[in-house]
Structure 1
Amino acid sequence: MAQSKRGSTYSKNAVLEIFGLLWEETDYQHGLTIPQIRERLIERHEEAGDPDYQAPSERTIREQLNWLSDSANTILNRPIRKVSRIECEREGITDFTPGWYMSAYLNTAEMRLLADSLMISRINEDTIEDLGEKIMRISGGRNALPRRFDNFDAITHYNPDFLHTVGGLDRAIEQGWCVDFEYCEYDEDGNLKPRQYNDGTVKYYVLDPYRTMFKHGKYYILGHVRGSNELAVFTVDRIRNLQVLENVKVEIPLEQWQGDGTLRPASDLTDEARAQMETLKRKHKQGIPANRGNALDPIKYMRERPYMIAKEAVSITMVLRERMITSLYEWFDEPHIIDIRNGNYLVQVMSPEDPMLWWVMQYSNSNAVYVIEPQSLRGRLRELGRSLAEDYDSE
């Protein structure tokens, strides 16, 4: 009787074991037949030291496969199908094997993109390798597990709080809570030291966090420092000792900021406007894209800035040589090319003046960027040029 009960248990577990087997050992070119699936299940239990294992019958396996292949029973959005000879031959694949397979959750390019993004994070090598292996396992497919990272060196000066900080920010953003933290600078030895007041006490920041985002190899958090009337951007790598202030709601909701990063005037907060803000907040929590109108779009706000700085973006008009067009699109999300004459491009972009000053200076030796407006930026470039000339003329 006990033996029958055990056999019944194994039969019930068959669907999970078949799912796991297909997850790890198949792809759209390489399937497993029903006899092969049964054989592999037996081999797995022998390797695990389970000599009393009773494999499901081929009939049971067929029934479980039919159940798993039903779109209504898809697990983790990974359909189970049979390898198509026609599709493989159409793609010129000759080494395909017939049978059942599970669609990969991530393809090879997607896996590599996620894995490579870890390399720019300030975390140690063990953590990078551990997270990379998890990405491969989640992806599934017969070629996922053997994949390993190429030889690499983690960033030397990393922040051990990084993953804790990312997790805390994510939780706070989801719940609409505040956070507080130390913000650090690097000292001469490459160690992070928290900012301090004049009396030597550590300075803490209390932030309404809105959105995190990678940009040019750095991870940023956009938010509002409580007590101020301005947006702020912090580099997540330099945040330490972050605490989520549970149940302390943000002082200024994201929806109260206008598209240009300024606060909506109090007179604008009519009952209708407040209702629209509540709708935006609800859709944000539900993950539903919303037409934000004149409300702040954090992604657009961050993309307008070639270097991350929380100042108002203004219209910049400039002339570029043709060889600068690639750099233009690498740094600006939505540049507007107004006119093209004799290899010169009249261009408009949106950016705060400080990042634009740095960007122009970055390409100053190319003699391929000329700012037309605003006059204030032209004046700052002229003064900077004069100052540099004086500094280096003395040598």
Structure 2
Amino acid sequence: MARTKGRETPASSTAQIVVEILELLDSRTDREHGLSAAEIAEALDVNEKTVRGHLRTLGSMSPFGRRVRRIGRADLAHAESADPRPGWTIDPILDTAQMRLLTDGAMLSRSDGDYLRDLVAKVHAFAGRADRPYGPGRMSTPRNHNTEFLNTIELLDDAIAHERAITFRYCTYDIDGELVPRRDADGTAREYHADPYHLMYKNNMYYLVCHMHPYDDLSYLHVERLRDLTMSDADHTLERSLDSFSAVPGTPFDVVAHMNERPYPVTGEAVPIRMRITGSLEPLYDWFDDASVTRTGESEYEVRVVANERATLWWALQYADGRGIEILEPSSLRERLRLTGEHLAREYGGTAGTDLPSR
């Protein structure tokens, strides 16, 4: 039975009207553009009084965790759009901060520009900003874009969830800075096999934490360099579980803590490290989340961290130009720094173009 203008018919049940109101609010409203009860009633061909009642009910219950509310002219005093419109609206799935985080994260990938445009458009739609572009020049394709990136992420997520081993090719840079597959001596693109465990963003890179066959340590691969990824057809096909890497047998492996112990993702154990920092603590907390700091002077601190030695060596060298960082323990790390300093002195101690002492 068809509806009669402004009056519900048996076919227009309460549930149906409520669903249609939500769909209308979701598709045609945002933070700065609302719909009046009369406009909703006309669009759905139902009684305006009925619509108002449903809107009041929806406003008190936040369906699906999304607030239904009426925005007035006072709420739009500082609107960014050229044509703000008061009325009823439903809050978007994502707020502005979440939209920015997701969009900026997507932009950091080396995915193809068309993929990025599609992904960013969806994020903006969920945030109620589908009509606003991300910004001029921000959607260009990165030089070393990976058209497989989004598919790779989907496959890795599935492989991790179902404990499936993976096979792939891994890229390196050629002389022109292009990403090309690593090759064996005969020129064949090298094939790798691994047990995938965890995806993690660190140092502006998206890493896969995995166990590469047939090595003993964990590996940290740049996800955008993976190509031709496939996974096992069967679940639970890993050679080793992540927990098998735990320092205490039989206990879970904390992959987040493990990555926090490495300012740079490198293999090897983490050890207690003690250092003295004079001046700002920014170089410390920009890289180490779990540092123990004791003030020993006006601007002097004793710092203890648990970290990988080689990664800490690389970190300390960044600040070796007078930032006031001295490694106190372990002695093995101090020795590494001394040898590195001697190498740098030999390498850069002479005049360009002259012979340097042999190393």
Note the 1:374-389 alignment, pairs <5 A: 374-389=330-345
1:1-395 equivalences in 2 (<5 Å): 14-26=17-29, 31-39=34-42, 41=43, 55-62=45-52, 64-65=54-55, 68-69=58-59, 71=61, 74-75=63-64, 77-83=65-71, 99-140=87-128, 144-151=129-136, 152=138, 153-249=140-236, 250-258=238-246, 262=247, 265=249, 273=250, 294-323=251-280, 325-395=281-351
- Per-residue deviation, residues 143-191 of structure 1 (Å, max 9, x unmatched): x122211122442112222112111100111111111111111111222
Deviation at 1:229, TM superposition (A): 2.8
Structure 2 unaligned regions, length at least 5: 352-359
Aligned length: 340
Residue 59 of structure 1 and its aligned partner are, at CA, apart by 4.1
User: Do the aligned partners of 2:195 and 2:212 also contact (CA within 8 Å) in 1?
Assistant: yes
Deviation at 1:234, TM superposition (A): 0.7
Distance (Å, rounded) in 1 between the aligned partners of 2:298 and 2:3 = 87
Question: Structure 1 residue 83: deviation in Å?
Answer: 4.9
| Partners of 1:319 and 1:370 within 8 A in 2 | yes
Which letter maps to 2:21? I
For 2:296, give the aligned amino acid.
I
- Determine the C-alpha separation between the residues in 2 that align with 1:165 and 1:107: 27
Q: Mind listing any 5+ residue stretches in structure 1 that lack a counterpart?
A: 42-53, 266-272, 274-293
Shift in Å, 1:228: 3.2
CA distance in 2, matches of 1:392, 1:94: 58
What is the rounded CA distance, in whole Å, between the counterparts of 2:197 and 2:189 in structure 1? 24
2:267 corresponds to which letter in structure 1?
A
Equivalent residue letter for 2:201: F
Distance apart, 1:29 and its partner CA: 7.3
Matched residues in 1 for 2:307 and 2:90: separation? Answer: 47
Residue type of the alignment partner of 1:23 = D
CA deviation profile, 1:224-261 (whole Å, cap 9, x unmatched): 12333321111101111110112152222223331xxx
Q: Which amino acid aligns with 1:145?
A: A
Percent identity of equivalent pairs: 35
CA distance in 1, matches of 2:229, 2:78: 55
Q: What residue is the counterpart of 1:287 in the other structure?
A: none
Q: Take 2:71 and 2:78, find their aligned partners in 1: how far apart are those partners?
A: 13
**Partners in 1 of 2:169 and 2:300 — Cα distance?**
47
* 8 Å CA contact 1:208, 1:252 repeated in 2: yes
**Separation in structure 1 between the aligned mates of residue 85 and residue 190 of structure 2, nearest angstrom:** 63
Structure 1 34/206 Cα, relative in aligned 2: closer, same or farther at 3 Å?
same
CA distance in 2, matches of 1:355, 1:118: 27
Please, what TM-score do these two structures have when normalized by structure 1?
0.77
Instruction: State how far apart, in whole Å, the 1-side matches of 2:135 and 2:25 are.
Output: 27
Contact 2:92 2:126 in 1 (8 A): no
CA distance in 2 between counterparts of 1:93 and 1:225 reads: 58
Which position in structure 2 is the counterpart of 1:270?
none
Which digits, 9 at most, give the CA deviation of each residue in 1:116-150, with x for residues without a partner? 1222110122222211110011123xxx1222111
Alpha-carbon distance in 2 for matches of 1:67, 1:295:
47
RMSD: 3.0
Change (3 A) 1:94 1:333: closer
Sort the Cα spacing of 1:28 and 1:203 in 2 relative to 1 into closer, same or farther, 3 A.
closer
Distance in 1 (alpha carbons) for counterparts of 2:283 and 2:11: 62
Letter in 1 for 2:166: V
CA positional deviation for 1:70: 6.3
* Residue in 1 that maps onto 2:354: none
Alpha carbons of structure 1 residues 385 and 94: separation in structure 2 relative to 1, 3 Å: closer
What's the CA shift for 1:25?
Answer: 4.4
**Relative to total residues, which structure has the larger helix share, 1 or 2?**
1
